[in-house]
Every structure is written in C-alpha cells, then in structure tokens.
A and B are shown apart, each in its own frame.
Chain A
Amino acid sequence: MRLKTGLATFAALVLLAGCGGYDETTTPKPEEPAAPSAAPPPDCTNDASALRSYAPTGDVGSGKSVQEIKKSGKLVAGVAGDTYLLGSRNPDDNQLEGFDIDLAEAIGQKIFGEPGHVEYRVITAADRIPFLQDGTVDIVARNMTVNCSRWEQVAFSTVYYDAGQKILVGSGSGIETPADLAGKKICASAGTTTVDNIRTLVPDAEIVTAPDNSRCMVKFQNGEADAFTSDDTVLAGFAAQDPYAEVLKTERLSQEPYGIGVRKDRVDLVRLINQVLEYMRADGRWKASYDEWFKDQLKVPGVQPPPVYGR
C-alpha cells in the first residue's frame, strides 16, 4: 500500500515537473541615456563686440573660399528641416522652405549668378559647429545664435535677425505670465541655455527636456508639458501649426541674435554673405521674406538689424 502511495506521489511529481512552467519572459531594461549637460558658461564676454563681423570690403567674391565653392558647382547649406517658417519641408512638394532657406538661396544666387546651386543638408543644432569645421557644409543657416564662445570656433555674418526666448502655452490654459508656470511642466530642448533661463525665471516650474524643439511640441500637444520655451521665431512656427497654442506676449527672456555660420578661416565667404545681407536690405528681399514667413505670426513689423563690422 505504501509502495502504491509512493509510486502515485512520484508519478504526480513527474507530471508536474513535465508541465513546462517557464520563468516569465522579461524585457531587459534599456540603458538610461546620459542626460545632456547644459552648455558651459562662456569664458568670454558677450557684449556688443561679439556681434561684430567682417565688412564686405575689397574684391568680394574673388577670395579663395568663394572660388572653391564656385568650382564645386554647389553651395552646401546646413539648415533645419522641421522648424516651420525658418527651415522645414513642405509636405505637399517635399521642398524645403522658410526664412533661413531664403537667405541660403540668396547667398547661392550671389555666388553662382543664378538659382538652383544650393545643396541642402538637414542638420541638428548639435551638428552645426562640427559640420562647419570639418567642411561637411559651407554655411549654416539654421537659427544659429551669435555669441563670443562660438566666435572662438567659427565665424559669423552680421546679425540677420534679432530673436529672443519666449513661452508657448495652450490657449485658455490660464497661463498668462511666466510666474503662472509655478508647479507646471515646461519643456525645453536639452542642453540649451533656454533651460537655464527658465529655471532662473521660474524656479518652481517643473522642467521637462526633449532632444529637440519638435519633440517638445509633441510633448506639449500630447499633454506631457503645459508649456514650451524656445526662440520666438521657432515658437511662432509651432503656434502656426496648432490653433490651440499661443505665444505669451511677454518680454523676451533672452536675446538670440541670428547669424550665418561659416568656417573660421573662410573670411572671404563671410564678407560675401554680409554683402548679400546688405543687398537684401536695399532691394527689399529681406523684408519680403520676413513678411512672408513671420509677419502674420509675430504680428510685429520686421526690422533687419543694422550691420556691425569691425572684426
């Protein structure tokens, strides 16, 4: 009897062991990406001298850099592909368009005497300086702020637009001033000075970061952020794509003077670009471009900043 019981127990254990109960499948935890560090404080002074560029004097257009570009048959321009109004792809015809694109076209037209010689490369903000330095692009027309520390790495044209940091919120959200953001989530591009600015201005706001401005807008539209801070030109582009978003009509949180970036040693190309900017001021192309892209959104008349030379 005991033998039978033992055998029965054994058989039951064997059957249970053979039922194939596997350990639960688990997904390995992804490695946490390293948080991008904020831009280091400049070891130079950002005064008016940082805005000085090279005067378009001498035989503009006959320098070595410009000749090289002419010989290659194309001007390679690093631009944004997702920043509506500045540089973005038109979903209808796949063409890039915007204020920065108009500037790149004007520069190309000046060098080659006809349109159609600009080759665009959509680049990220982080690509701008490395791509200029390694020659991947000839110019950067991608809402690039001129400052003294960047002047140590690349060269700039004179300022072609004075932008500034602002805040985009939901229409009717009740947020009317930066102070209203206390306890709310605000998105900013990781590793930019905009994060530091908003942290200083509204210490009680919860700052959410995203790899780029578009991802911040996605977070805002998906309700993961109550507000989004960036340059007013960038925010104007996003507000134009969302009828339920508006840019706060407050003072700019910072000044962001845009310039065309060029490799540091290609001074002759900078001089040519500065000449193009002056021609655009004189013949009204700068204003026409501003009116086409920004006038309705920024609701202020555009004024091309006066050139500052002396470098």
Chain B
Amino acid sequence: MTQTASQPAPAPQSAGATAVTGRAANASVVPSSSGFTENVPRLLNRIQTIGIVACVLFGALAATVQLLGWQANGRAAENTEQVVRAQEIQSLLLRADAVATNAFLVGGLEPPAARAEYDETIEKALRLVADAAEAQPADRQVLADLNATISDYTTSVAQARDNNRQQFPIGIAYLNDAGTLLRAEALPMIQAVVDANSERAVDEMDAQHPWWLIVLTLLTLAVLIWLNQQVSRRFRRRVNAGLAIAALIVAILGVATAIHAGVRNDRNDALRDGAYRDAVDAATARTAANDAKALESQGLINRGSGATYEAKWDEQAAAVDDSGVLGDLWQQYVAAHQQVRDLDDAGDWEKAVELATSTADEAPTAVLNRFDTAAAERAANAGAEASDGFGSGDGISLALIVVTILGALAAAGAVTRGIDVRRKEYF
C-alpha cells in the first residue's frame, strides 16, 4: 500500500506507548504489511542517521579520492625529477668516460682542460647521487652501490692516468677496465633507478579518478532519494527540503570534483606524452651520444679494433636516432665521426686520431660537445616543465578538498534539519 500527497492517509495510529498529538494529524504512517504499525520517531531517527552517514561518508571518501589524487600528482612530480636526475647521472658518467678516453688518445700528458672537465663532471655526478638518495628512500641501496662503483671507476681511471703518465702501456688495461666497470655495473644500476622511477611516475600520473567521484556522488544521491521516498511515503510532502538541499550540495560537489579530476587526468596525459617524454628522450639521446663518443675513442685506442667498437657505436647511434632529439646536430656529429672511421679504415690511423682529438669547430669532439650542451638543456627544461605541470593547480585541489568536507558537513546538517522538521510535525 502506498501513500500519495494528494490523497493523505488516515491519521496515525498509536504505536505502543507513543502519544499522538494534534499536529501529527497532518502526518501519516503506513501500517506494515504484517499488520503492525510503525514507530515513526524511531524510523525518522534511522532515516536521519542514514542520511547523515551517507553525506559524511561521501565527504570523507570524495575528499580521500581527491587527497590521493593530489598526493599522486605530487609524487609524479617528484618521481619525474628523480628520473631526470638519474638520467643526468648516467649522461655525466658517460660524458666523463668520453672525456677521459679521448684525453688518453692524445699522446703524452693529458690536456689540463680535459682533466678539469673530467673532475668537474664526476663531482657533479656524485652530488646528484647524494641528492637522488635523499629524494627517494627506495633508491638508496642501489645508489649506495652506485656510489661505491663510481669510486672504483674513478680509481681505475686514476690508475690508467698514472700509468700513462709514466708511459706504461698497462694504462690502457686500467682504462678498458674502467670502461667495462662503468658499462657492466654502474650503468645497469642507474638504469634500474630510471626504470623504477619512470614506472612510479607513470603509475602516479594515472591516479586521478573522476569516475570514482561520479560513482560516489551517484550512490550518495541514490541514498538521499531513497530516504526522501521513505519520508514522502509517510508524510504529505513529496520532497523533504533538507534532503533536497543535501542532494543538491552533493551533486554540485560531485560534478565540480569530477570535472577537476578529469581536467588533471587529461593534463597528466598531455604532460606524460609531452614534456615528460621530451625530457626522457633528450636525456636518453644525450647518454647514448656520449657513449658513442667514448666508443669512437676506444676504437682508436685499441688500434685496428675500429670495426669491433663501431658495432657498439651503431647501437648507440640508433638510440639517438630513435629518440628524434636534435636530429640536425646529431647528423653533424655522425658525419664528423664517419670521417674518423673512413681515415682509420683506410689505414690512416694517425690522421684518424688527429681528427678525433682535434678541438676544431667542425671536428667530432666540438660537434658532440654542442649536441651534449643542447640535449642537456632540453632535458633539464622539459623535466622542469613536466615536474611543474604535475605540481600545478595544487591550490585548487586543496581548496576543493576543504570545500568537499565542509559541503558534506553542510549536507549532513541539511539532512538533520530536514528530518527534524518532520519529527516536529509528527509530535
């Protein structure tokens, strides 16, 4: 049996010891199907409690979803910075190796400028390792191992340099050992840090959940509508004002927070495919380019082994090509490198070395330096843009979280008030 507002039900029957007042004559209570009459005050209490809990739960969960999204974006920014930092370490170490190897190729004493650049590059790399360890506790163990390996690497380079200075050929063995240590042990460690933080960053970028907020809003609205139905069945009003206001607040909050989360989600996708990808690609290209230059020198140092090292050079060149970063500058280096190889392959090793170690503007070293500088700048700028992008809009996010909580409390208050009015009507 149902009750409509146009056709009020008979006056309420007494239920147990409940007194029936004159005002209650305006309300109605539907007997249960079992024939028992309802305890209306208790029913109103239950409706009120369910309404308050629904609003508060909505507020808590919606705020939590937003909070998690806000935290995730913050971590996406931090993880992006860590990826850029780790790739910078990788590039710096290969840069140092390229400088040390090329300096070794110059007969006699190492040029002071090359030595200074090597020292400065290693120092930068070590400082970044310390920064990275501080930034992400989960990377600390690998970075501690990396620190020890860099120490072994620099020791080997120092031993190579000391032997070379005394004109002992065993210096080459130390230099080769250093290069092997760098590539076989240090680089996999840095790659592990890059991979782990890339995965973390991408996971966090996907942590905006507009659909969760929509579902949460719809569920809360369904509860409030159901409660309104329960009330309207028993009283003349089709709509309970308090429940209606609560539903309106929830709907507005739901739409606003879902739109905000959706916008952030889209922006995250755009950053991931834009600035973040640019930063990673530029750093990858820079790393591969420096590795290629070191391999060019290794091929000449190990005289006659150009073909062996050229195969490895090709792999690094393919990595730069695939990245599509600074194609024109890279092609200039490729052309300069090809001249070195052509000379060496034609048996003119001395000329090949002369060109590979020349500081002339169009020689491979100078061209690669220009590529390195441009790629480093691009990686740093794109990384900063991505990191800033993930971190932007924090004020709105936090304000929305606060508004959600306050709005949910206001909705709960409206439910309380709306049911109180019915209660007063009943009594």
Q: Which residues of A approach B to under 8 Å, CB–CB?
A: 3, 7, 10-11, 14-15, 17-28, 30, 74, 78-79, 81-84, 88-94, 96, 119-123, 212, 214-215, 217-218, 221, 237-238, 241
Contact = CB atoms under 8 A, between A and B. Distances in A.
Contact of B172 (A17, A120, A214): A214
B71 A90 contact: no
B127 to A, nearest CB: 20
A119 B353 contact: no
B172 A84 contact: no
7 contacts: A11-B64, A18-B72, A22-B136, A23-B138, A82-B172, A91-B164, A241-B169
Given A121-B305, A215-B173, 17 more contacts: A3-B53, A18-B71, A19-B71, A23-B138, A26-B141, A27-B142, A27-B145, A27-B189, A27-B192, A28-B188, A89-B172, A90-B169, A91-B167, A93-B107, A96-B303, A119-B347, A218-B174
Interface string B131-152: 0000010110110010000000
A241 B185 CA distance: 28
A94 B302 CA distance: 11
9 A-B pairs closest in CB distance: A121-B304, A214-B173, A88-B169, A241-B168, A119-B347, A22-B138, A25-B196, A94-B107, A122-B304
B56 A7 contact: yes
Contacts, number: 126
B142 A26 contact: yes
B305 A218 contact: no
Contacts of B71: 18-20
Interface string B159-191: 100011011111111101100000011001100
Contacts of B172: 81-82, 89, 214
A215 B188 contact: no
Interface residues of B, number: 51
B107 A82 contact: no
Given A18-B68, A25-B192, A28-B188, A122 B303 contact: yes
Interface string B46-79: 0000000100100010001001100110010000
A250 B264 CA distance: 79
Interface centre among A14, A82, A90, A91 (most CB of B within 10 A): A91
A131 B163 CA distance: 30
A121 B303 contact: yes
Contacts of A26: 141-142, 192
Contacts of B350: 94
Interface centre among A27, A83, A241 (most CB of B within 10 A): A27
Q: In terms of DSSP, what is the predominant structure of the interface of chain B?
A: helix
B108 interface: yes
A88 B303 CA distance: 10
B200 interface: yes
Contacts of A121: 303-305
A95 B172 CA distance: 14
Given A26-B192, A120-B304, A84 B138 contact: no
A214 B170 contact: yes
A234 to B, nearest CB: 12
Contacts of A10: 60
A14 B304 contact: no
A23 B138 CA distance: 6
Contacts of A20: 71, 75, 204
B325 interface: no
A241 B141 contact: no
